[in-house]
């Protein structure tokens, strides 16, 4: 390998793009940015399928309750410290909460449509992770991933929920409440190929309806 080839190998693609910008090569920079995004997308798809395959194995071998146990462990070890910002989620204005959710989903290769009424902000996502698995037919066929079929809080009391999407109920709503907070949002996961994942972000968290808590096995707080 030439020294130039070794240097390119050692330099992340986005750093190469920065160098192209500094070198007044905008077309080259755009090409490098697109290449970096494609590399990240490939790694994201690998990771999503890896996680879903592991959760599917856990559910089939140990039962669906074990899927929730695994997600709860991840929540305690990783999600909870990540969200411990010193600011209560419910205290943030609804538009701030909606922007945090939307930016994360769009960064995860999703797209978002936004609607708003007096009560809430509605985010409708073409989901780039769990939704993409559904769109790709990964829950169908000979090597299908696991679909949870036991009605419980982890399935939002639905008859079926793709196993990857169970982190939405367990980590984003159930544990968020158990940690002394409120649900990140009220989520309605995608069910079919081509569908959308819908999040309701209530302007006043006290206005979250009682049934939103009941479907995850909780009771709406008195105040």
pLDDT at 197 over 90: yes
In terms of C-beta distances under 8 Å and separation of at least 24 residues, what long-range contacts does 113-117 make, across chains too? 113/196
| 53 inside domain | no
Q: What is the mean pLDDT of the chain?
A: 96
In the chain, the number of structural domains is 1
The answer as to whether 47 is a domain residue is: no
Residue 107 confidence (pLDDT): 95
Residue 42 falls inside a structural domain: no
Contacts of 43 (CB under 8 A, 6+ apart): none
Integer CA distances (angstroms), 169 to 14, 39, 92, in order: 35, 30, 21
Given a cut of 90, is residue 84 above it in pLDDT?
no
- Domain assignment present for 37: no
pLDDT value at residue 222? 82
57-72 burial: b if 16+ Cβ within 10 Å, else e: ebbeeeebeebbebbb
- The pLDDT of residue 83: 86
Q: What is the mean pLDDT of residues 86-95?
A: 94
Give the model confidence (pLDDT) of 143-189 as tens digits.
999 999 999 999 999 999 999 999 999 999 999 999 998 999 999 99
Q: Are 10 and 4 in contact (CB under 8 A)?
A: no
Per-residue pLDDT tens digits for 105-151? 999 999 999 999 999 999 999 999 999 999 999 999 999 999 999 99
Do the domain assignments include residue 33? no
The domain in which residue 146 lies consists of 63-214
The pLDDT assigned to 155 comes to 98
Total-model pTM: 0.93
Q: Does 221 reside within a domain?
A: no
pLDDT at 85: 84
pLDDT value at 27 more than 80: yes
Contact between residue 167 and residue 189 where contact means Cβ atoms under 8 Å apart: no
Which tokens go with 223?
Answer: 């105040």
Is residue 2 situated within a structural domain?
A: no
Task: Report the pLDDT averaged over residues 47-74.
Answer: 98
In a domain? residue 223 = no
Output the pLDDT for position 86: 87
Give which of 82, 75, 117 is closest to 98, Cα–Cα. 117
Which residues fall within 8 angstroms of residue 24, CB to CB, at 6 or more apart? none
* pLDDT > 80? residue 223: no
């Amino acid at each position: 390998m030439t020294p130039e080839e070794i240097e390119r190998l050692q330099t992340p693609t986005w750093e190469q793009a920065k160098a192209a910008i500094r070198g007044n090569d905008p077309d080259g920079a755009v090409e490098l940015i697109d290449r970096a995004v494609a590399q990240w997308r490939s790694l994201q798809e690998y990771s999503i399928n890896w996680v879903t395959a592991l959760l599917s194995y856990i559910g089939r071998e140990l039962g669906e309750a074990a899927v929730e146990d695994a997600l709860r462990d991840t929540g305690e070890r990783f999600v909870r410290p990540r969200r411990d910002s010193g600011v209560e989620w419910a205290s943030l204005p609804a538009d701030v909460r909606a922007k945090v959710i939307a930016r994360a989903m769009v960064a995860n290769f999703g797209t978002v449509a936004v609607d708003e009424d007096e009560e809430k902000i509605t985010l409708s996502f073409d989901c780039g992770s769990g939704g993409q698995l559904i769109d790709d037919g990964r829950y169908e066929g000979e090597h299908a991933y696991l679909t949870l079929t036991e009605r419980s809080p982890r399935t939002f009391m639905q008859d079926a929920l793709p196993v990857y999407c169970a982190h939405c109920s367990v980590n984003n709503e159930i544990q968020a409440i158990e940690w002394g907070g409120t649900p990140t949002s009220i989520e309605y996961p995608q069910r079919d190929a081509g569908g959308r994942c819908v999040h309701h972000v209530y302007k006043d968290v006290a206005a979250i309806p009682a049934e939103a808590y009941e479907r995850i096995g909780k009771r709406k707080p008195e105040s």
